[in-house]
Structure 1
């Protein structure tokens, strides 16, 4: 197998991303999710929210990206689950972490989480629990 050696307890390479408003608008265009909470400051102010709220689908994409970046093109994410704990706002930075909790043949189970990391503020959990089942495809012969 190319890529990292994977055993129970292996740490997934972390993924960090600052999610800016322009990223959120691009994502909204790709997914056709134009809810005002993702871009309309007047709408948000009336509801006591400090900034546009990152679309929840983004977190599934980040969790899958983290796994694909770590394991490479052989990895097929078969199942992915996650639960929201806190809102994430435009301009905040998140970190995805994870570790392998089971290896059964060509199938891995991973637990993951996403925390909000901003400057001197303590981390806040954005997504937990989260995790995935990944199948590693056989390598093709050269």
Structure 2
């Protein structure tokens, strides 16, 4: 966990978050979000669609990116903005890794460049699943330090 007074600088690496996404995880996510599109859990439907397995819901990647940021910066950060685009499908039982760097470190905020890659058995990135991805993180609470910079929309 990063201390509240820690300083950050452009180019600093965001500690990666790696996660295997299993079918039970995907079913639990579908239940939690009420998103029951069959492509995310129904193996017969997926086979008929000629895909190699159930497709991970794209919003899972937003949740993982926020988890990565909060694991790094601790509870006194607020993810004010998160934007990301999809590059490739991710299937049940694959492992993904969230990666990133600090693009800008301002007074009370960080702008982050992020991505999500699918990890092969050798630990190397096989393909990029999510990119580009960007986040603006306020350091402190939502109404604490950095809130003014977040409202001003500085980028």
- Whether TM-score is above 0.5 comes out as yes
What TM-score comes out, normalization by structure 2 length?
0.85
C-alpha distance in 2 between matches for 1:122 and 1:7 = 26
C-alpha distance in 2 between matches for 1:26 and 1:94 = 18
The match for 2:152 is none
State the Cα RMSD in Å: 1.6
The match for 1:103 is 105
Structure 1: gaps of 5 or more residues: none
Moved segments of 4+, more than 2 Å:
none
Deviation at 1:122, TM superposition (A): 5.3
> Deviations for 1:11-64, whole angstroms, at most 9, x for unmatched residues?
001000000000001111110000000111111111110110000110000001
Matched positions, count: 139
1:70-109 matched pairs, under 5 angstroms: 70-109=72-111
Q: Secondary structure at the match of 1:29?
A: helix
* Mapped contact 2:117–2:125 kept (Cα < 8 A): no
Matching residue within 131, 134, 140 for 2:134: 131
The match for 1:2 is 3
The match for 1:34 is 36
C-alpha distance in 2 between matches for 1:128 and 1:122 = 13
